[in-house]
Chain A
Amino acid sequence: MVRWPLQSIRRRIPTPASVTGAVQSPAVVTRLGLFLGPAFGVCFLTGLISHNAQSPTGVLLRPWPVWGYRLTQGIHVATGIACLPLLLAKIFAAYPRILDRPDGPARGPSVIIRFAAGRLLIGILTAAGIVQVATGLFNIFQWYVFTFDFVPVHYAVAWVAMGAILIHVATKLPTIIETLRRRRRTGQRHSPGARRGFIGGVLGVAGGLTIFSIGQTIGPLNGLALLSPRRPRSVNLQGVPINRTAAQAGVVDRIDSWSLTITGPSGEHTLHRDTLTAMPQATVRLPIACVEGWSVSAEWSGVRIKDLVDLVGGAGRDLRVQSMERGSRYARTRLPADFVADPRSILAIRINGEVLALDHGYPARIIAPDRPGALQTKWVERLEVL
């Protein structure tokens, strides 16, 4: 007798078929997944590269090509932004599935458990995907509304999201294959009518967002970067954006008493700015590439790192770089031996023909090829051969 109210309730709840429209079909959901999955995959892989590059114990770090980090981080941010409309479209196309119920007339425990596990996976997949895209967007705009430590959380959730995507593909593989086979069997080159238009439109929106934001990475498209967090480079101080000012770093009061201490196997040297200026100078053109996706090339002049390290007999070793800033994750960084030996790695004192501005790291900052902007240490006060 208890069944009657339950059956009555079940009859009143819509089924997926009753709310399915032109685009809520396995064909559309599958095809959107064929774009969203790889977009997330590329974002994940470039994110791994970025995370490795920022790690003191990162593997396979090399100072070439000079534009390496610029490229991978630019792609990471661009694909992350493109995931926004793709994710919204996938949610839109798949929304009838929220009304799914356990299959079969005899809904035994195993069916219900399998159904619940499937819903849990979808819940984790969707939540992880939304968290990654949302926090990534907040981070590139420097609005730290999430309050947690972004780097370890974004890295950990990326693994959860990719893992959930792979399991999701594994469970849906028969549907994916059948959908793609049906297209080939009927000889259709494209999904019919409305579905083709929807997918094309979604890709167009994703492409449009990319075009209007990727100019922060690609110079010729800089004028189109309407959706990027930073305005074109020409309006920035000395042509390069600043993420952290000297005031924010708390170094302003100590700048006048600045000196550079270099320690190594053969002893210790203390240099002042006029000593640095008197040493042989090198000029290199290298990009600053930020984790937020923007990157700008500039002309830097200063003393080669290897020349400074040679003063203390530290050739062939890693270097610890200490900033005047205190309490920041990147106040102390490690420059691998390959980077130290590279002639393009310099302790810069000038940028684009001008003396380095205080907010750009005056009196001296590290500039090295293929290195994340956060590790191009500003206000360097100590170099220690390890």
Chain B
Amino acid sequence: MTERIVRWSLAVLGGCGMAYGLVLVLTRVSPADWFRLARWGLAAWMINDLVLMPLALLLGLTVLRRVPPRRRMPLRIGLLGLASLVIMTAIAVGARAHQKNPTAEVTAPLPALLITGGVLVLVILVAELVAGLQRPERDEGPAAG
């Protein structure tokens, strides 16, 4: 009973939130921006369903299956970290090229990527070293993803 009340409450609150967001789009966002926003929303959906998810599937089917089970988790974390860093660096590089503020002292993105990427690799190696000392080999099951 309590669970049902909580679910309904969340659903109603969520519905109100979404409806309010839609009202804000219609009343505070200019009509010209509606289409720009719709394009961005569509692009985001396409990136998720047509790029990220197939990429994850491909990663599991082609790369991870060739890697020893014990190395798959560090590889997943490394790729996730690298993807995050590459996204932020790509934005930083693009922003530098389009910077209209001549006084902006922006962080150099490529050295930042190298240093943070190096830290990521180092942390994964140390974690693997510690895990290797603490735990025996364990089979982790199917490789997909």
Contact = CB atoms under 8 A, between A and B. Distances in A.
Interface of A: 18-24, 81, 84-85, 88-89, 91-93, 95-96, 98, 123-124, 126-128, 130-131, 134-135, 137-138, 141-149, 152-153, 155-171, 173-174, 177, 193-194, 197-198, 201-202, 204-205, 208-209, 212, 225-231, 235-237, 241-245, 247-248, 359
A77 to B, nearest CB: 12
B102 A245 contact: yes
Interface in B11-69: 11, 13-22, 24-25, 28-30, 33, 36-37, 40-42, 44-45, 47-49, 52-53, 56-57, 60-61, 64
Interface of B: 3, 6-8, 10-11, 13-22, 24-25, 28-30, 33, 36-37, 40-42, 44-45, 47-49, 52-53, 56-57, 60-61, 64, 72-74, 76-77, 80-81, 83-85, 87-88, 91-92, 94-95, 98-107, 111-112, 115-116, 119-120, 123-124, 127, 131, 138, 140-145
A248 B101 contact: yes
Contacts of B64: 21
Given A130-B48, A149-B29, A226-B115, A22 B56 contact: no
A102 B40 CA distance: 28
A130 B47 contact: yes
Given A21-B145, A91-B53, A197-B73, A166 B21 contact: no
Given A164-B18, A242-B101, A141 B53 contact: no
Nearest to B124: A201
Contacts of A247: 102
Closest 3 CB pairs of A and B: A163-B17, A166-B14, A159-B21
Contacts of A237: 103
Contacts of B48: 91, 126-127, 130
A91 B56 contact: yes
A362 B14 CA distance: 47
Nearest to A206: B84
Given A21-B143, A22-B72, A142-B101, A98 B49 contact: yes
Given A19-B145, A127-B48, A193 B138 contact: yes
A231 B44 contact: no
A163 B36 contact: no
Given A162-B17, A163-B21, A201 B80 contact: yes
Contacts of B21: 156-161, 163
A14 B52 CA distance: 17
Given A145-B94, A157-B37, A231-B106, A208 B15 contact: no
Nearest to B89: A227
Given A91-B48, A148-B33, A156-B22, 18 more contacts: A19-B145, A85-B81, A89-B80, A130-B47, A138-B91, A147-B36, A152-B29, A156-B21, A159-B18, A164-B14, A170-B8, A173-B7, A201-B76, A208-B123, A229-B92, A230-B105, A235-B105, A241-B105
Contact of B140 (A163, A194, A228): A194
Contacts of A95: 52-53, 56-57, 145
Nearest to A235: B105
Contact of A141 (B6, B92, B131): B92
B36 A155 contact: no
A162 B24 CA distance: 14
B18 A170 contact: no
11 contacts: A85-B80, A92-B80, A127-B45, A153-B33, A160-B25, A163-B16, A166-B17, A212-B112, A227-B112, A235-B105, A248-B100
B91 A137 contact: yes
B15 A167 contact: yes
A198 B21 CA distance: 34
A149 B30 contact: yes
B interface, by DSSP: helix, strand, loop or mixed?
helix
B24 A166 contact: no
A130 B45 CA distance: 8
Among A24, A156, A194, residue most surrounded by chain B Cβ atoms (within 10 Å)? A156
Given A148-B29, A156-B21, A164-B14, A201 B73 contact: yes
A166 B11 contact: yes
A350 to B, nearest CB: 19
B75 to A, nearest CB: 10
B112 A226 contact: yes
Contacts of B11: 166-167, 170-171
B14 A163 contact: yes
B17 A227 contact: no
B99 A173 contact: no
B4 to A, nearest CB: 9
B20 A159 contact: yes
Contact of B141 (A22, A81, A128): A22
A341 B142 CA distance: 67
A135 B40 contact: yes
